[in-house]
Structure 1
Amino acid sequence: MLTRVLAVVLAFGVVAPVAHAVEKGQVTNLPLPRFVSLKAAEGNVRRGPSLTHRIDWVFTRRDMPLEITAEHGHWRRVQDREGQGGWVHYSLLSGVRTVIVGEEMINLHQRPDAKSPVVAALEPDVVARLGKCEPDWCQLRSGGYKGWASKENLWGVARDELRD
């Protein structure tokens, strides 16, 4: 999660960092940025937050993870792992969390430990359902398999994100 740090001057001129609240969306009051997934098989990506804005392209992959970076009414500004994005109607998005495998194949392990047995291997660009996350590992489900993968080669989960 994104945390802003402010400096506070304490007595005797000592400066100490203080964690500031995460930025919140004006519409939902949820953290920004945050990850979601594409609920629909197709989603128009517009230049601005209304139907009158031009469609720049169409996302065509259901369950693809996206990052919300702004909110305006019923619209969310999103971007994919390549930084491409625009405005999408909120009805096309889901709070169900997914991740996408990066450029290298990853192993799913029985436990969050590189020495534990490998359950399956996921190829680049595979989309998997996100489960629990520890500091360096996340539990994933894909193709009928369930296991733990290192966060290193995943997009759709923050490096410091923990999930129960």
Structure 2
Amino acid sequence: MPLPLLMEALHMKRAPLVLAILLALPAGAIAQSDSRPAARPAAVQVPAATTDETPEGPVVSRFSGKPVPRFETLRWAEVNGRTGPSLSAPIAWQYNRKGLPVMVVKESGEWYRVRDPVGDEVWVHMRMLAEGATAIVTRTTILGNSPARDAEGVAEIGKGVLVQIHSCDTAVCEVETGGYRGWMPRANLWGATGAPAASAGTKG
């Protein structure tokens, strides 16, 4: 009997409304609007950002007191990603996926520069993020009913599916999605770094 297949397209962000309007305009109108010089935003003074990582590993941010880089999740279903650490910075795009894991790679005051699962980076306000344990499946994977390599399959989880992480060890994570719970290789999960450690009885 074939396993249930969970698939989920990785549609997680969209362009700002102004870009959508431009794309809907005739080519001549777009060319005419592009010919006008764009107004330059006023300079914004921001604190110096931390470095991504030292040769010894993550650093502790002097702003949040947390390690950088690290994973957090989007708190809301709509989160603006900006080109700079300020509300006056243009919106690059809007994320539309609550719980999406992102990697915090820099901090500047209350603003975090984050990297999403496809490698793009933008700035978001710290209030838009939450500590959580989620991950994106990076390749189609069989969800096992135990952490053993020869475990019986529970479901087939497609690339791009968002999963909730319950615990991880160095090789596998116990996850849940779409009503299914089981284990899959940690290497197939983007965002599993820093996930909750497995308890002593997890593999029983």
Q: 1:107 aligns with which of 117, 139, 142?
A: 142
Larger radius of gyration: 2
Matched, 1:59 2:95: yes
Which residue is equivalent to 1:27? Answer: 63
Superposition map of 1:113-132 within 5 A: 113-132=148-167
Quote the sequence identity (%): 33
Higher strand fraction: Structure 1 or Structure 2?
1
Matched, 1:152 2:187: yes
Runs of 4+ in structure 1 off by over 4 angstroms are none
The structural deviation recorded for 1:4 is 3.8
Unaligned runs of 5+ residues in structure 1 are 6-20
Matched, 1:89 2:130: no
- Alignment root-mean-square deviation, CA: 1.9
Give the TM-score normalised by structure 1. Answer: 0.82
CA contact (8 A) 1:26 1:72 kept: no
Q: Quote the Cα distance in structure 1 between the aligned partners of 2:170 and 2:61.
A: 25
Q: 1:44-92, CA deviations, whole angstroms, 9 ceiling, x for partnerless residues?
A: 0111111011111111111111000111222111011221021101111
Q: Match for 2:197: what amino acid?
A: R
CA contact (8 A) 2:141 2:184 kept: yes
Give the TM-score normalised by structure 2. Answer: 0.66
Q: Quote the Cα distance in structure 2 between the aligned partners of 1:22 and 1:124.
A: 28
CA contact (8 A) 1:135 1:162 kept: no
Q: 1:104-153, CA deviations, whole angstroms, 9 ceiling, x for partnerless residues?
A: 31111122122011122211110001121111101111111111100222
CA contact (8 A) 1:137 1:149 kept: yes
Q: Quote the Cα distance in structure 1 between the aligned partners of 2:133 and 2:91.
A: 25
Q: Quote the Cα distance in structure 2 between the aligned partners of 1:3 and 1:118.
A: 40
CA contact (8 A) 1:135 1:161 kept: no
Q: Match for 1:54: what amino acid?
A: P
Higher relative contact order (CA 8 A, sep 6+): 2
Which residue is equivalent to 2:11? Answer: none
Query: Against the structure 1 CA distance between its residues 37 and 162, is the aligned structure 2 distance closer, same or farther, given a 3 Å change threshold?
Result: closer
Higher helix fraction: Structure 1 or Structure 2?
2
